């Protein structure tokens, strides 16, 4: 590993190390690939490696084998090895399940999300899925997939986000949602369009264009699916969707009981307008932003002191 000899640019260095800061929020060591992928500026592996090898960096960032942590947090390395191994096992299960779920009528794509997609699955981690659904079929797909998931106590999968294929653009755009999208994994070729449409992620994470980084499995055969869908087209299908919609609204009421009325209203409006049906919360941004800013500020102060000391010793 070649160390940098010229003085570090503090702001540029912070941008490169941003993935380490973010990972530390969730007690997670990060790999070198993740340092690059989640950098806030365009950077290659060579520049990232060179930056990590700087004498100034060595006082604040520790690289242990394949993982990198903030100094004093080296215990996270062993934990990440365990959570990554668990995530890979669960991901293989998700890939097998996607072959079956892809045959469910009106399913148009399946995306693995959450800690399993991030390769940092804790012992109680679920296989969280985003389901891309044919227009005007959110409730019907929810009734089938969500019903089976609840009956099996989420042992096989947890479909907590259904999105219409006509409304794939995520309108709420910020760093934290960009992270969620960048670490998600398509489980079939049909899901890749979601990442192509949401290429705004590159504005926040220029090295993490999901449509380029993530590659789905083979496109599923759809002959059987079309056959299964046939009885539910036309008037009978619309009637089934209206019945399923009542169940979905009851589930929304139960899931968001105790939430702010404005939040529940927005969820219902998005469902009624055939945009999405969501049973997970976006990150609690107010608290997450503050913790992120605090972590980044501490690293900035530590780096500034280390750089000053290194320069004084030259």
Q: Is the pLDDT of residue 306 over 90?
A: no
Residues 98 and 180 in one domain: yes
Q: How confident is the model at residue 101 (pLDDT cuts 50, 70, 90)?
A: very high
Residues 27 and 101 in one domain: no
Are 271 and 308 members of one domain? no
In a domain, 238, yes or no: yes
The reply to whether 82 falls in a domain is: no
- Please state, in angstroms and rounded to a whole number, the distance separating the CA atoms of residues 57 and 51: 7
State the Cα–Cα distance between residues 288 and 22, nearest whole angstrom.
10
* Average pLDDT, integer, range 50-63: 86
Q: How far is CA 254 from the centre of its chain?
A: 25
| Residue 11 zone, left/alpha/beta (φ > 0; ψ -120 to 50; rest) | alpha
> Is residue 154 a part of any domain in this protein?
yes
CATH number, residue 48: 1.10.10.10
Task: Check whether residue 110 and residue 202 sit in a common domain.
Answer: yes
Mean pLDDT of 8-30: 92
User: How confident is residue 220, by pLDDT bands cut at 50, 70 and 90?
Assistant: low
Residues 123 and 145 in one domain: yes
Rounded average pLDDT over 164-169? 97
126 and 30 belong to one structural domain: no
Indicate if 96 and 68 belong to the same structural domain.
no
Q: What six digits make up the tokens of 142?
A: 């929810």
Per the domain annotation, does 59 fall within a domain?
Answer: yes
Looking at the structure, tell me whether residues 129 and 261 fall in a common domain. Answer: yes
The count of structural domains within the chain is 2
Q: What average pLDDT does the structure give for the chain?
A: 89
| Residues 231, 293 within the same domain | no
pLDDT tens readout for residues 112-129: 999 999 999 999 999 999
Predicted pLDDT of residue 212: 44
The residue ranking higher by pLDDT, 200 or 215, is: 200
Residue 5 lies in a domain: no
Residue 1 maps to a domain:
no
pLDDT, residue 77, reads 96
pLDDT band at residue 258, thresholds of 50, 70 and 90? confident
Q: Are residues 278 and 291 in the same domain?
A: no
| 218, pLDDT greater than 60 | no
The region of weakest confidence among 18-22, 137-141, 144-148, 298-302 is 298-302
pLDDT(215) > 60 = no
Residue 179, in any domain of the structure: yes
In a domain, 81, yes or no: no
pLDDT band at 137, cuts 50/70/90? Answer: very high
Report how far residue 33's alpha carbon sits from residue 17's, in angstroms, rounded to the nearest whole number. Answer: 12
Structure tokens at 16: 């490169």
> Which of these ranges, 28-37, 216-225, 291-300, 302-311, has the smallest mean pLDDT?
216-225
Q: Are residues 165 and 254 in the same domain?
A: yes
- Domain of 245 in residue numbering reads as 87-283
Whether residues 96 and 195 share a domain: the answer is yes
pLDDT of residue 82: 97
At residue 4, does pLDDT exceed 60? no
Q: How many CB atoms lie within 10 A of CB 57?
A: 25
Supply the pLDDT for residue 257: 85
What are the pLDDT digits (tens) for 183-197? 999 998 889 899 999
């Amino acid at each position: 590993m070649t160390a940098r000899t010229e003085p570090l640019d503090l702001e540029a260095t912070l941008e490169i190390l941003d993935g380490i800061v973010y990972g530390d929020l969730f007690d997670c060591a990060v790999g070198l690939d993740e340092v690059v992928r989640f950098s806030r500026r365009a950077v290659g592996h060579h520049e990232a490696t060179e930056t990590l090898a700087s004498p100034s960096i060595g006082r604040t960032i520790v690289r242990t084998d394949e993982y990198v942590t903030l100094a004093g947090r080296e215990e996270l390395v062993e934990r990440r090895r365990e959570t990554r191994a668990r995530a890979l096992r669960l991901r293989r299960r998700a890939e097998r399940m996607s072959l079956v779920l892809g045959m469910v009528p009106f399913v148009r794509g399946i995306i693995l999300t959450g800690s399993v997609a991030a390769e940092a699955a804790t012992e109680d981690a679920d296989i969280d899925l985003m389901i891309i659904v044919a227009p005007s079929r959110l409730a019907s797909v929810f009734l089938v997939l969500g019903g089976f998931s609840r009956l099996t106590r989420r042992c096989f999968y947890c479909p907590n986000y259904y999105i219409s294929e006509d409304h794939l653009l995520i309108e709420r755009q910020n760093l934290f949602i960009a992270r969620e999208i960048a670490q998600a994994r398509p489980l079939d070729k049909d899901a890749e369009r979601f990442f192509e449409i949401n290429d705004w992620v590159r504005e926040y994470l220029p090295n993490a264009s999901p449509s380029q980084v993530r590659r789905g499995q083979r496109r599923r055969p759809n002959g059987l699916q079309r056959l299964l869908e046939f009885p539910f087209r036309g008037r009978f299908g619309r009637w089934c969707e209206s019945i399923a919609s009542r169940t979905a609204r009851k589930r929304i009421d139960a899931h968001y009981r105790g939430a702010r009325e404005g939040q529940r209203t927005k969820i219902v409006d998005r469902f009624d307008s055939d945009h999405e049906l969501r049973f997970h919360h976006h990150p609690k941004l107010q608290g997450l932003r503050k913790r992120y800013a605090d972590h980044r500020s501490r690293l900035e102060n530590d780096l500034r002191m280390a750089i000053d000391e290194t320069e004084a010793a030259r």
